[in-house]
Amino acid sequence: MSLLHRNDTRGAFPPSWYAATTDAPPLRPSLKGAEHADVCVVGAGFTGLMATLTLARAGRRVIVLDAHRAGFGASGRNGGQVGSGFNQSQQWIEKHQGHDAAHALWGMSQAAKDLVRENCAAFAGDALFRDGIAHGDWSAADCRESHADAEYLAKHYGYDQISPLDAAAFQDIVRTKSYVGGTLDMGAGHIHPLRYAVALAREAEAAGALLFDQSEVHHIARGSPAKVQTGQGHVMADHVILAGNGYLSGINKPVNARVMPINSFIAATEPLGDRAAEVLSRDIAVADSKFVVNYFRLSHDGRLLYGGRESYGLGFPTDITTKLRERFEGLFPQIKGAAIDYAWGGTLGITMNRMPCVMRAGPNILSASGFSGHGVALSGFSGQVLAEAIIGQSDRFDILSDLPMPVFPGAGAFRAPLLTLAMTWYAMRDRLGV
């Protein structure tokens, strides 16, 4: 069974704290019969919805097809962290792409955060954008590296929003003794992601886009126009945007070879009341230096929203909570025994080098995916860049699509087991602290 259906109920959000606190519209109709569009967008997460909004505002007829519903995927169930930069350091990007492209890419990553901030201010106030992400370091070597990165960004990119923190200063904010220090980036932030996705969909519809839920695309017949086929209908479209991220498996071979799905899991505790301040003394989000990263923050009703476990097979484990509890109680023994009210998993796309995969996947087919856990800001921005390329401004698309994007080793049946093996190895190194 495909990932689209393996772990979720058809047309439904997962049982997350986000879904429980979002006023989502009823399911939209599914596509039936023949339609035509200037652009057909496959997938209604941040990537697809921001592409749609940009195109619809520019007067294009846009049809969006989602196998489940807008906001169903990673966009509606993630850690909400609107991080700075990319999953690789600027030094790494300079080494691979050169000075000018690295600076252009940094500028884009800043624009990506601004886009979320501006959208929240304009039409998604209930997504509660808040400033600040702290990064916790487990070892002195990690800490030296993160402080050096902060200094490098200030010196070479003029980004002065990151404060290096020693162990005491860090523990003052993040109330665990696990970290030997870290940084605080006040130019980054966090949001309620499902509310943001729902607002993006509403805004796209207001701009004239047509959204169809429960409309899984099974096949795209290339041509001009291309024919985008679902179970009960099709769209003839001059352009197609692929925005299915970790779920898109099988629809497009070039993307499929470069983007692999992995699963990540989040638990929401009961409201902690006064104990919330014993976990975090400020309303910021936190991520850390583990390979299987711990990421957490407080919800606006005082719960710990904690993510910190991955799985690399297709199916989610039957018991999600036990390991999540072990991990967050290890960090915060002071809330040991707190009830877990919600727990859920989600699927995201990763690439070999952890940079986003923005590419032309056919003459009139554009794709953006594989944001590798760094997509809350970058996915919507990349969607906007795909839209610009269709409208006729391709400079930002050219820079993003020029990033090296190796295919995953192995083919067919061997790909997933190879990935599982590699990721499990790194996760084990995490546990052993090597």
Ligand X SMILES: Cc1cc2nc3c(=O)[nH]c(=O)nc-3n(C[C@H](O)[C@H](O)[C@H](O)COP(=O)(O)OP(=O)(O)OC[C@H]3O[C@@H](n4cnc5c(N)ncnc54)[C@H](O)[C@@H]3O)c2cc1C
Q: CB of 388: closest distance to ligand X in angstroms?
A: 17
Choices 120-128, 240-248, 324-332, 400-408; region in contact with ligand X by CB under 6 A: 240-248
Which of 22, 41, 43, 335 lies at the binding interface for ligand X (CB under 6 A)?
43
Which of 51, 62, 74, 400 lies at the binding interface for ligand X (CB under 6 A)?
74
Q: CB of 287: closest distance to ligand X in angstroms?
A: 7
Cα-flanking dihedrals φ and ψ of residue 254, to 5°?
Answer: -60, -40
Choices 69-77, 105-113, 164-172, 395-403; region in contact with ligand X by CB under 6 A: 69-77
H-run or E-run covering 206: helix 193-206
Choices 78-86, 152-160, 268-276, 416-424; region in contact with ligand X by CB under 6 A: 78-86
Which residues, 6 or more positions from 335, have their beta carbon under 8 angstroms from its beta carbon?
269, 272, 275, 278, 279, 304, 328, 329
Which of 54, 252, 264, 269 lies at the binding interface for ligand X (CB under 6 A)?
264
Spell out, one character per residue from 189 to 228, where the chain touches ligand X: x when CB under 6 A holds, - when not.
---------------------------xx-----------
Is the CB of residue 373 less than 8 Å from the CB of residue 105? no
Helices (H), 274-414: 321-331, 375-391, 395-401
Q: Please say which residue, 98 or 313, places its beta carbon nearer to ligand X.
A: 313
- Compute the distance between CA of residue 88 and CA of residue 385 in angstroms, rounded to an integer: 20
Side-chain-side CA neighbours of 87 within 13 Å: the count stands at 20
- Compute the distance between CA of residue 381 and CA of residue 51 in angstroms, rounded to an integer: 8
Q: Is 237 in the site for ligand X (CB under 6 A)?
A: no
Q: CB of 66: closest distance to ligand X in angstroms?
A: 5
Cα-flanking dihedrals φ and ψ of residue 238, to 5°?
Answer: -70, -35
Q: How many of the chain's residues bind ligand X (CB under 6 A)?
A: 45
Q: Dihedral (C-alpha) 350, 240, 385, 117: value to the nearest 10 degrees?
A: -80
Q: Is 376 in the site for ligand X (CB under 6 A)?
A: yes
Cα-flanking dihedrals φ and ψ of residue 387, to 5°?
Answer: -60, -45
Q: CB of 247: closest distance to ligand X in angstroms?
A: 4
Spell out, one character per residue from 328 to 357, where the chain touches ligand X: x when CB under 6 A holds, - when not.
------------------xxx---------
- Compute the distance between CA of residue 389 and CA of residue 398 in angstroms, rounded to an integer: 9
| Interacting positions 156-195 with ligand X (CB under 6 A) | none
Collapsed DSSP state (helix, strand, coil) of residue 420: helix
Q: Please say which residue, 120 or 243, places its beta carbon nearer to ligand X.
A: 243
Choices 42-50, 51-59, 111-119, 201-209; region in contact with ligand X by CB under 6 A: 42-50
Q: Is 298 in the site for ligand X (CB under 6 A)?
A: no
Nearest to 242 by CA among 433, 250, 347: 250
Q: Is 241 in the site for ligand X (CB under 6 A)?
A: no
Nearest to 382 by CA among 371, 372, 373, 392: 371
Which residues contact ligand X (rule: CB under 6 A)? 4, 42-48, 65-68, 72-75, 77-81, 83, 216-217, 243-248, 251, 264, 266, 295, 307, 346-348, 369, 371, 373-376, 379
